[in-house]
Amino acid sequence: MQFRSLATAVLMAYGAWCSMAAAEVPQDSPPGAPPEAIAKWRQMKFGMFIHWGPVSLKGTEIGWSRGKQVPVEEYDRLYLKFNPQEFDAEQWVKTAKNAGMKYIVFTSKHHDGFCMFDTKQTDYSIIHSPFARDVVKELAEACRKEGLAFGTYYSVCDWYHPDFPLGSPGGKTEKPNPNLDRYEQYLCRQVEELIRHYGPLLTMWFDYPQKFDAERGRRVHNFVRSLQPDILINDRCGLPGDYATPEQKIGAMSADRPWETCLTLCQQWAWKPDDEMKSFAECVRILVNVVGGDGNLLLNVGPMPDGRIEPRQAERLAQIGQWLERYGESIYGTRGGPFPRESWGASTQKDNTIYLHVLDRTLDQLQLPPLKRKIADCSVLTGGTATVKQTAEAVEVVLPNVKDRQADTIVALQLAPEEQ
């Protein structure tokens, strides 16, 4: 597979842009996304991550199994057999929407270098598979139709491309004649394709920079921002970016630094037959603790080789959506706190309401830190009644005495108006 060389004019234009950007932007302060763009994303709270590609034919992990579970020569030719005739972008988006998700981030290119969009920079793409359809385009259009925001995952490292210094397995082998400057140009041309052809995008979700340091990251950030000023950029391209991305774990509670936990519904990012799936209660626990910590949750699914989201995964997502349809007021548009997360659960807040998400089903009462504002009323969204006693030392909540407590007992504390 041969990569198409970039036109000399394009290389000169990008080089000129880099020089201009370096002169105009302070080296220690690349521009960030506008505060209103970050605030809008934070209010969404819940999104769908999708890892998919020809590797689904093997049921092994995307990128990481290249040269490990699957020989490189075989892995790199999987796309020649990839023909997911059951793929339906609108159905994927409806599945996300029914789950209560507000945005989708899709793997346009993972560490294996395979492109799931119609790129002009390489023939190693979905367009040159038997399927020959632009998956990213169809997803972007379906998201716009259904009112979901759309962003692209793009791997900074590329273990397939000859110019990126490291290769498979796991980005630990060295290639014979790499050219990182030329690869950086390749990356920027593809990023430009994604933003111009499928945007505006919610986010450019970079991953695993490896050889990209802060200097290269700064150039990429500035270039992305020049194409779309309000796009969000995460923390995996040599710089901190607009938000942090704790992976496969719930992030630390933080009201200052925006963050988003990325986590799999099953165990593997890409589809795996009979992969262990998280229970409904576990999904609720994760969502509540993420939002209660003032973060967003990007929950991953790995579609099957035929293009469908696995029915059992779609069913679990629908259960989450039904829960959010009833109790979403305690999640969407909230901020974490004011109480710290503890073993009992977490709290969220919006306007004059504090929501207590009690995840420990064995508790019959809570003792919480004191509040400066007076609690005017108390109700239970999940059924039953609770009582609250407020003193200068603590807030005591007696939980409803119901036979079968739900995965999350939600108590709403209504605060009295602030004194003028």
**How confident is residue 28, by pLDDT bands cut at 50, 70 and 90?**
low
The total of other beta-carbon atoms located within 10 Å of residue 238's CB is 21
Sign for the CA dihedral angle at 62, 51, 153, 279 comes to: negative
CB 155 within 8 A of CB 207: yes
**How confident is residue 6, by pLDDT bands cut at 50, 70 and 90?**
very low
Q: Average model confidence (pLDDT) for the chain?
A: 93
Q: Is the domain defined by 337-415 classed in CATH 2.60.40?
A: yes
Let me know if 274 is exposed, middle or buried by CB neighbors in 10 A (0-12, 13-18, 19+). exposed
CB 46 within 8 A of CB 296: yes
Place of tokens 């986010």: 203
**How confident is residue 18, by pLDDT bands cut at 50, 70 and 90?**
very low
The predicted pLDDT at position 418 comes to 80
Asked whether residue 49 carries a pLDDT value surpassing 80, the answer given is yes
Place of tokens 């509670």: 253
Is it true that the peptide bond before 338 is cis, omega within 30 degrees of 0? yes
CB 290 within 8 A of CB 261: yes
CB 298 within 8 A of CB 263: yes
**Tell me, what DSSP letter sits at residue 12?**
H
The predicted pLDDT at position 24 comes to 38
The total of other beta-carbon atoms located within 10 Å of residue 418's CB is 9
Asked whether residue 311 carries a pLDDT value surpassing 50, the answer given is yes
Domain ranges of the chain: 8-330, 337-415
In angstroms, rounded to a whole number, what is the distance separating the alpha carbons of residues 109 and 89? 17
Asked whether residue 10 carries a pLDDT value surpassing 70, the answer given is no
**Tell me, what DSSP letter sits at residue 342?**
B
At 43, give phi and psi (nearest 5°): -70, -25
The predicted pLDDT at position 22 comes to 37
User: Cα dist. 308→60, 131, 143 in Å?
Assistant: 17, 14, 17
CB 339 within 8 A of CB 401: no
The predicted pLDDT at position 16 comes to 40
Mean pLDDT over 243-250 rounds to 98
pLDDT digits (tens, 9 = 90+) for 270-294: 999 999 999 999 999 999 999 999 9
DSSP 94-115: HHHHHTT--EEEEEEE-TT--B
Its pTM stands at 0.93
DSSP 255-273: SSS-BEEEEESSSSSS--T
Question: What pairs with residue 375 in β-bridges?
Answer: 415
Q: Is the domain defined by 8-330 classed in CATH 3.20.20.80?
A: yes
Helix (H) or strand (E) holding 23: helix 8-24
Let me know if 157 is exposed, middle or buried by CB neighbors in 10 A (0-12, 13-18, 19+). buried
Please give the share of the chain, as a percent, with pLDDT higher than 70: 92
The predicted pLDDT at position 402 comes to 72
Three-point CA angle 219, 222, 223, nearest 5° = 85
The total of other beta-carbon atoms located within 10 Å of residue 38's CB is 16
* Chain centroid to CA 129: 27
**Tell me, what DSSP letter sits at residue 237?**
S
Question: What pairs with residue 277 in β-bridges?
Answer: none
The predicted pLDDT at position 3 comes to 54
pLDDT digits (tens, 9 = 90+) for 325-357: 999 999 999 999 999 999 999 999 999 999 999
In angstroms, rounded to a whole number, what is the distance separating the alpha carbons of residues 290 and 182? 39
The predicted pLDDT at position 296 comes to 98
Which residues lie below 8 Å from residue 54, measured CB to CB, with a gap of 6+? 78, 79, 81, 82, 114, 129
